[in-house]
Amino acid sequence: MVQEIEKHLEEKLIPFWERLADWQYGGFYGYMGYDLKLNPQAEKGVILNSRILWFFSNGFLTLGDTKLLKYADHAYEFLRDFCVDKKYGGVYWSLSYDGNVLDETKHTYNLAFAVYALSSYYAASKKEEALMLACELYEQIETCCKDAGGYGEAFDREFRPMSNEKLSENGVMAARTMNTLLHVFEAYTELYRVSSQKRVGDKMREILDVFEQNVYNPKKRRQEVFFDREWNPLIDLHSYGHDIETSWLLDLGCQVLGDPEYTKKMAPMIEALAQETYEKAYQNHSMINECENGINQTDRIWWVQAEAVVGFVNAWERMPEKEYFLHGAKDIWTYICQVMVDKREGSEWYWRVDETGKPVEGEPIVEPWKCPYHNGRMCMEMIQRSHRGKLS
């Protein structure tokens, strides 16, 4: 499996995203439709460009190909020069194709991905200015986005709270979300890994406590998703993709943190999330998307399949006696190759297919949320884990 995945990364994903570099205006092109037509004048989402920076930085760290560092440099320069608000701090939500601000919203989720990407870029490039910028954005999250109860979500340019349309779905308007908290933790994990700053490690412990006390539902063995400001859940929603992603990201965070107390405390939740996802969402060689009010949404989403591969392998590594996790990961990888990967020349993965495996036309191949982060990370995680252990 790992040899196939490495080949897929090198021959499918990396060449696709290299072709999206905008050498005239900076960054990477922001939209390719289902018809594979590139729109070079589409908006450039900062989340997309941060994730691309992460992708090429970690591609270099994983494969050692110096060509990838050139693309990471290109992504970094765009983030540094255009995406960062030089007056009020933070990063904008999106820019025009030629680098003008389109949406000046500041969002905790967006800042977290910038911290995540810059930390990885520092590991790849050794540029101290990248680490300094990551630390500046970390400070802004902690001073401008955090309140007594946790992390807020959306803010205007001057960090005054505003409604959270950007990360609210399913008919609710959430003051707090599991998704934002997860990716703040992910960003802090990477920043702590490359800097070993005690203050960052302390914040990681605080976030782990919030997951255990407010986000995780031990009776249903799942995370709640959308909350009001007091952490009351707003909807009956089981997000299978986020649960399996959380299981391995929290495990990774505990490993990086190296705190035996938290490693022990989080273990039951980490293992329960993986087990419950396997039992409820792994169907017909793939992962269904979510369950709202007891009704499964059965489309197969690109990122959910990628996270399931990593999450199931991680569960098998934790619990090697449960070989069905490894079998499930290999089964989903086969499904990805047969169904999720777009075989058309010049494409990548489909965004979504229905339960029969038919691609849902109209869903773009590239847009502000469709990026090489989940599937690229899956490939790199499998390669790195094969170097460390029994995975082959």
User: What's the pLDDT tens digit per position in 95-125?
Assistant: 999 999 999 999 999 999 999 999 999 999 9
Tokens coding 2: 């790992």
Where b means 16+ CB within 10 Å and e means fewer, 200-220 reads bbebbeebbebbbebbbeeee
User: What's the pLDDT tens digit per position in 248-293?
Assistant: 999 999 999 999 999 999 999 999 999 999 999 999 999 999 999 9
Position 81 scores a pLDDT of 98
Tokens 């499996």 belong to: 1
Q: Which amino acid, 46?
A: V
Stretch (H or E) spanning 45: strand 44-45
In the chain, what are the domains? 2-388 (1.50.10.10)
Query: pLDDT-based confidence at 388, cuts 50/70/90?
Result: confident
Contact 286, 300 (CB under 8 A): yes
- Mean pLDDT computed over every residue of the chain: 97
Position 200 scores a pLDDT of 98
Query: pLDDT-based confidence at 359, cuts 50/70/90?
Result: very high
8 by Cβ neighbours in 10 Å (0-12 / 13-18 / 19+) ranks as: buried
Position 170 scores a pLDDT of 83
User: What's the pLDDT tens digit per position in 294-328?
Assistant: 999 999 999 999 999 999 999 999 999 999 999 99
Rounded Cα gap, residues 229 and 343, in angstroms? 45
Q: Which amino acid, 55?
A: F
User: What's the pLDDT tens digit per position in 180-195?
Assistant: 999 999 999 999 999 9
Position 169 scores a pLDDT of 83
User: Closest by alpha carbon to 308, among 255, 350, 248?
Assistant: 248
User: What's the pLDDT tens digit per position in 202-225?
Assistant: 999 999 999 999 999 999 999 999
Query: pLDDT-based confidence at 387, cuts 50/70/90?
Result: confident
Rounded Cα gap, residues 152 and 50, in angstroms? 21
2 has a pLDDT exceeding 80: yes
168 has a pLDDT exceeding 90: no
361 by Cβ neighbours in 10 Å (0-12 / 13-18 / 19+) ranks as: exposed
DSSP assignments along 167-218, one per residue: G--TT---SEEHHHHHHHHHHHHHHHHHH--HHHHHHHHHHHHHIIIIIEET
Rounded Cα gap, residues 139 and 126, in angstroms? 21
Query: pLDDT-based confidence at 389, cuts 50/70/90?
Result: confident
Relative orientation angle of helices 108-125 and 128-140, to the nearest 10 degrees: 160
Percentage of the residues of the chain whose pLDDT score is greater than 70 = 99
